[in-house]
Amino acid sequence: MSRARELSAAFSLAARLRSGEGAFAGWVGHTDTAFVDAVARTPLDAVVLDMQHGFLDAGAMVAGVATAAAAGKPTVVRVPVGAFATASRALDVGAAGVIAPMIDGADDARRFVEFVKYPPCGGRSWGPGRAMALAGMSSPAEWLAGADGFTLAFAMIETREGLAAVDEILAVEGIDGVFVGPNDLCIALTDGAKVEPEADFLDAPLARIAASAKAAGKVSGIFGGSGARAGVLRRMGFDFVTVGWDVGYVQTGIAAMLAETREVENVGEISDGY
Ligand code: 3PY
Ligand code: MG
């Protein structure tokens, strides 16, 4: 039996993305594990826990990873800018991947790898007890031999410098893929004039990033602000696409329900005396 098949579903993401199957993930910045559980128990393939702009501290991240794993879903943790030690910690407690924001070049990428890949590729410190438990693995030797392969290190491309250096970043050993932040990329490319993550002028650079990752034999991810946009981004060639975000799920759900409510209220479809 292959190592990938011995792992629990919480660690299935790397193999899935490398096979070209692609994955859609939910996006959670809130701390409540009941909310993480609700997102994990949808048909989405994975859950991103956002420690950069979301509200999760280390405790909420640990609980969120465990909650999604219990629902059979992998988590990818986005850490704050430069918080590479937090990325190590997320992997130690069972995240299937980590996203480092604002990576501007190969030097930033190598510093990130130093924290999230074991020697000889990086200098990740040993302490994966919780991750091994969630993976259903008891042999430290087996974990050491396999972990770099089944956990994903994503470098975020969301600055002018990062975009210009995307091939060098992808060439860094230990970087498994890039993840695009289209909001910041739009701000950067318009010198602060616009935050329009779905603007047409972004399509060419986005398609180029996805193609560069494929050419490098690595995976590409991106933040998709809506269901429709996520579909477009997947078609554009991205492997790992997030779909909306938690507050958006509540707001769009309520807006859709209220629209239904108003329609029925106005046409009087319910003939039960009201
Ligand atoms: C961006 O679009 O800049 C992101 O970081 C996604 O959250
Ligand atoms: Mg960003």
Kindly report the number of other CB atoms within 10 A of residue 234's CB atom: 19
Distance CA 151, CA 92 (A): 11
Q: 224: Cβ below 6 Å to ligand 1?
A: no
Structure tokens at 37: 């559980």
pLDDT of residue 6: 64
pLDDT of residue 243: 98
Strands 219-224 and 240-243: parallel
User: Which residue CA neighbors atom 6 of ligand 1 most closely?
Assistant: 181
CA of 183 to the centre of ligand 1 (A): 5
- Ligand 1: which atom is nearest the Cα of residue 184? 3
CA of 159 to the centre of ligand 2 (A): 9
Probe target for ligand 1 pocket from 183, 195, 209, with the most ligand atoms within 8 Å of CB:
183
Phi/psi region, residue 119 (left: phi>0; alpha: psi -120 to 50; beta: rest), is beta
pLDDT of residue 22: 97
Decide if 53 is catalytic. yes
Q: 246: Cβ below 6 Å to ligand 1?
A: no
Residue ranges in the chain modelled with pLDDT below 70: 1-6, 268-274
Distance CA 49, CA 234 (A): 20
Probe target for ligand 1 pocket from 78, 223, 238, with the most ligand atoms within 8 Å of CB:
223
- Ligand 1: which atom is nearest the Cα of residue 53? 7
CA of 155 to the centre of ligand 1 (A): 12
Domains and CATH numbers, the chain: 3-248 (3.20.20.60)
Q: 177: Cβ below 6 Å to ligand 1?
A: no
Please count the CA atoms within 13 angstroms of the CA of 219 that sit on its side-chain side: 27
pLDDT of residue 12: 93
Q: 244: Cβ below 6 Å to ligand 1?
A: no
Backbone angles phi, psi at 127, to 5 degrees: 165, 45
User: Which secondary-structure segment (H or E) carries 229?
Assistant: helix 227-236
CA of 92 to the centre of ligand 2 (A): 24
Distance CA 113, CA 172 (A): 8
Q: Which residues of 112-127 are buried (b: 16+ CB within 10 A; e: fewer)?
A: bbbbbbbeebbebeee
CA of 53 to the centre of ligand 1 (A): 9
Probe target for ligand 1 pocket from 158, 194, 206, with the most ligand atoms within 8 Å of CB:
158
In the set 21, 53, 261, 263, the catalytic residue is: 53
pLDDT of residue 268: 63
Distance CA 199, CA 186 (A): 8
Q: Which residues of 146-177 are buried (b: 16+ CB within 10 A; e: fewer)?
A: bbbebbbbbbbbbbeebbebbeebbebebbbb
Distance CA 256, CA 181 (A): 27
Alpha carbon 45 to its chain's center: 11
Structure tokens at 88: 């190590």
